[in-house]
Amino acid sequence: MSTVRTIAALREALLPSRRAGRTIGLVPTMGSLHDGHLSLLAAARAACDIVVVSLFVNPRQFDDAADLAAYPRDEARDAQVAADAGADLLFAPAAGELYPAAFATTVSVRGVAEPLEGAHRGAAHFDGVATVVTKLLNAAGPDVAYFGAKDAQQVAVVRRLVTDLAIPVRIEAVATVRESDGLALSSRNARLVPGDRQRAPAVHAALTAAQAAVDAGEREPAAVVAAGRAAMAGLDVEPEYLALVDPTTFAPVAALEGEILAVVAATVGGVRLIDNRTLKRESMTHAANDAQEQDPPRHGDRLRPALRRFDHRRPRAPGGG
């Protein structure tokens, strides 16, 4: 695996493959690679001839300076993990490469970016996401870009922007990888102290309870949400939001009809956690969904030897988000 740090070097490195008609896959990350990232890399490696991993902690998408300061960074470790996972190229730019002194452009997505994460983290969050993703897509020119399904609203925002701006790339969302107790993998999990780690599965418990309410015949969205809140309360966690939304627009649903996404966010011990689950209503679909939820990709299922050699948990940093 080669490492490049400028857009010009990235384009030059990819030019021979592009001319040869090889398929290029991009896995954008902010580092602190874990099994969730490895699932993205595995999907890219299986489908693409060339796999590019970007490593950039994007300051423009953090609404909390303490959260940005606490975000774990270890480029040497991440580079080794990416290489052992089969990446061909690591793009690790400095902030000044993506945001030079004269940089004066912001990409803003309206509608889908405004509720939930947009409301709680502020408009600047998804403006930062949309701007850096647009820049990465333009820099690498991939055929496919891979994102984690855990960040469902982010995926919806990215899909909206590539459609609206006619960027020729396919966006793939890869299934969430979870710990054995259901907690979705996140770089932030390393900052959970033991007591808070025991409470953190409340986020996933809310989604499981919401599906259980639907399975039991509940058809009122408010009652389904109430079931999820009750599950969280049992672990002494209060959600920032718990909502049933349309998975494309992220508008709240008035009835349990069609495809519905349950989304949740909560702060546990200063660490902000998010998760989501598609709710199924038909009995035959219930069984398939339950099987998937009972045996999702687990932490360690896709671990390659390189990741086993590195302890990706970090000591708790001051601050949180």
Q: What are phi and psi of 178, to 5 degrees?
A: -125, 155
SS3 49: coil
For strands 271-279 and 260-268, give the pairing: antiparallel
The phi and psi torsions of 180 (rounded to 5 degrees) equal -65, -25
Q: Do 43 and 175 meet the contact criterion of CB atoms below 8 Å apart?
A: no
For 29, 37, 94, 124, 224, the CA distances from 40, given in Å and listed in that order, are 10, 5, 23, 26, 31
128, 167, 317 from 164: Cα distances, Å? 17, 8, 39
User: How many whole angstroms separate alpha carbon 129 and alpha carbon 141?
Assistant: 17
**Distance from chain centroid for Cα 129:** 11
> How many C-alpha atoms does 152 have within 13 Å on its Cβ side?
24
CA separation for the pair 177, 296 (Å, rounded): 7
CA atoms within 13 A on the CB side of 18: 11
Residue 125: active-site member:
no
Enumerate the H helices of the chain as residue ranges: 7-19, 35-47, 65-70, 75-84, 95-98, 117-121, 123-140, 152-164, 194-199, 202-215, 221-233, 283-294, 305-308
Catalytic hit among 37, 204, 299, 312:
37
Quote the distance between the C-alpha of residue 227 and its chain's center.
25
Question: Do β-strands 2-4 and 24-29 pair in parallel, antiparallel, or remain unpaired?
Answer: unpaired
Active-site residues, by number, are: 37
